[in-house]
């Protein structure tokens, strides 16, 4: 099915136009992050790269202790992604390979309910719980409450249901127990799904704002999203946009790299499920 020449040209123009419009805010932010304070205040605004790039990124880095913020965000994002993958794979394994054990349906619904209870619905009691546990300003508060994942459980359950029974039978014939089958067969087969889930959960966790805002209040436990707010709020008079944008760009680079590296797994993991 070829397209007419006119249509092809139209499609290219429409795509390039949309991409430029969508990218424009970030391109402009990048430009501003290379200028001096005075240049960033020019009106009309600057549309070329400036020469102050190193100064701005260093200033943003030092002003909010960016190294620490990046470490905290990376740590909690990786920890939560791995925790969710591990817990949801085990739960999915229980739901697919052990027949109808008593209470199975109840537990299944319990984990699914996670979707109906986003943080704002239980925010005050969950915060008080953190206080009772003495988890305020700790990595525990920033990670453990996020560990359950209905998304992951459903994703892996659906995938496990498509794994041929022969594999399981063969493993049992060889005398392999359930956990050996899980480690040696299911985990290696699930690689694409694990990567897709890692990508989604990493970005989700990296972008968390409200929960870190309320359960941390010391500079060494803050995450990078709150760092952006700190850069913005530090302004007494005119906003120092060049430094703020340097900080903002820094905060968006890690999830962007993860997305670009792993995007194929996302589409594969998802499309594969669609087709089954």
Partner 1 sequence: MGSRFPNKILPYVIVAPSVVIVVIFLIVPSIESVYLSLFSVSPFGNKLIFKGFANFITLFRDMEYLNSLSRSLVFTSFIVFVGLAVSLGLAVLANLKLRGAGIYRTALIWPYALSPAVAGTIWALLCDPATGVAVYLVKLITGHTYNWMTSGNLALAIVTLAATWRMLGYNVIFFLAGLQSIPRELLEAAAIDGASPFRRFWKVTFPLLSPITFFLFVMNSLYGFFEVFGLIDVMTQGGPGKATNILVYKLYEDGFVNFRTGFASAQSIVLFVFVAILTIIQFRFAGRRVFYR
Residues of this chain, 29-48, that bind partner 1 according to CB under 8 A: 29, 32, 40-45
d(CA 202, CA 80): 8
Least CB distance from residue 215 to partner 1, whole Å?
11
Contact 80, 143 (CB under 8 A): yes
Residues of this chain, 197-216, that bind partner 1 according to CB under 8 A: 200-201, 203-204, 206-207, 209-210, 213-214
Least CB distance from residue 240 to partner 1, whole Å?
11
Q: Which is nearer to partner 1, 209 or 219 (CB)?
A: 209
User: Interface mask (CB under 8 A) for partner 1, residues 222-251, using x and -?
Assistant: ---x--xx--x-----xx-x--xx--x--x
Least CB distance from residue 127 to partner 1, whole Å?
8
Residues of this chain, 47-86, that bind partner 1 according to CB under 8 A: none
Least CB distance from residue 54 to partner 1, whole Å?
20
Which two structure tokens, joined as six digits, stand for 28? 């402009």
d(CA 16, CA 181): 49
- State the sign of the Cα–Cα–Cα–Cα dihedral 226, 231, 232, 237: positive
Contact 228, 27 (CB under 8 A): no
Q: Which is nearer to partner 1, 50 or 178 (CB)?
A: 178
Radius of gyration of the chain (CA): 24
In the list 98, 134, 184, 261, the residue contacting partner 1 (rule: CB under 8 A) is 98
Least CB distance from residue 190 to partner 1, whole Å?
15
Q: Which is nearer to partner 1, 30 or 68 (CB)?
A: 30
Q: Which is nearer to partner 1, 162 or 219 (CB)?
A: 162
Least CB distance from residue 55 to partner 1, whole Å?
18
Least CB distance from residue 186 to partner 1, whole Å?
12
Q: Which is nearer to partner 1, 164 or 188 (CB)?
A: 164
Total binding residues for partner 1 by CB under 8 A? 111
SS (H, E, C) the chain: CCCCHHHHHHHHHHHHHHHHHHHHHHHHHHHHCCCCHHHHCCCCCCCCCCCCHHHHHHHHHHHCCHHHHHHHHHHHHHHHHHHHHHHHHHHHHHHHHCCCCCCHHHHHHHHHHHHHCCHHHHHHHHHHHHHHCCCCCCHHHHHHHHCCCHHHHHHHHHHHHHCCHHHHHHHHHCCCCHHHHHHHHHHHHCHHHHHHHHHHHHHHHHCCCHHHHHHCCCHHHCCHHHHHHHHHHCCCCCCCHHHHHHHHHHHHHHHHHHHHHHHHHHHHHHHHHHHC
User: Interface mask (CB under 8 A) for partner 1, residues 107-146, using x and -?
Assistant: x--xx-xxxxxxxxxxxxxxxxx--------------xx-
Residues of this chain, 1-30, that bind partner 1 according to CB under 8 A: 1, 3, 8, 11-12, 14-15, 18-19, 22-23, 25-26, 28-29
In the list 49, 54, 58, 179, the residue contacting partner 1 (rule: CB under 8 A) is 179
Does 180 contact partner 1 by CB under 8 A?
no
């Amino acid at each position: 099915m070829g397209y007419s020449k006119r249509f092809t040209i139209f499609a290219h123009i429409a795509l390039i136009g949309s991409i430029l419009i969508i990218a424009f805010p970030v391109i402009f932010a990048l430009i501003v992050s290379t200028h001096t304070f005075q240049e960033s205040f020019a009106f009309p605004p600057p549309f070329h790269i400036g020469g102050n790039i190193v100064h701005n990124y260093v200033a943003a880095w030092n002003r909010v202790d960016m190294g620490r913020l990046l470490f905290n965000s990376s740590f909690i994002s990786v920890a939560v992604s791995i925790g969710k993958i591990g817990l949801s794979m085990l739960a999915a394994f229980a739901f697919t390979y052990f027949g109808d054990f008593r209470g199975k349906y109840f537990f299944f619904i319990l984990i699914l309910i996670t979707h109906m209870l986003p943080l704002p619905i239980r925010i005050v009691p969950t915060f008080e719980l953190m206080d009772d546990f003495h988890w305020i300003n700790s990595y525990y508060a920033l990670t453990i409450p996020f560990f359950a994942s209905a998304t992951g459980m459903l994703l892996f359950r659906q995938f496990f249901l498509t794994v041929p029974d022969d594999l399981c039978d063969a493993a049992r014939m060889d005398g392999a127990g359930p956990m050996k089958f899980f480690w040696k067969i299911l985990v290696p087969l699930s690689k694409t799904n694990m990567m897709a889930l890692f990508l989604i959960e990493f970005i989700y966790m990296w972008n968390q704002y409200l929960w870190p805002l309320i359960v941390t209040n010391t500079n060494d436990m803050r995450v990078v999203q709150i760092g952006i707010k700190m850069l913005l709020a530090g302004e007494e008079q005119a906003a120092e946009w060049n430094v703020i944008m340097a900080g903002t760009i820094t905060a968006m680079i890690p999830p962007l790299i993860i997305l670009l590296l792993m995007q194929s797994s996302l589409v594969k993991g998802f499309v594969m499920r669609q087709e089954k």
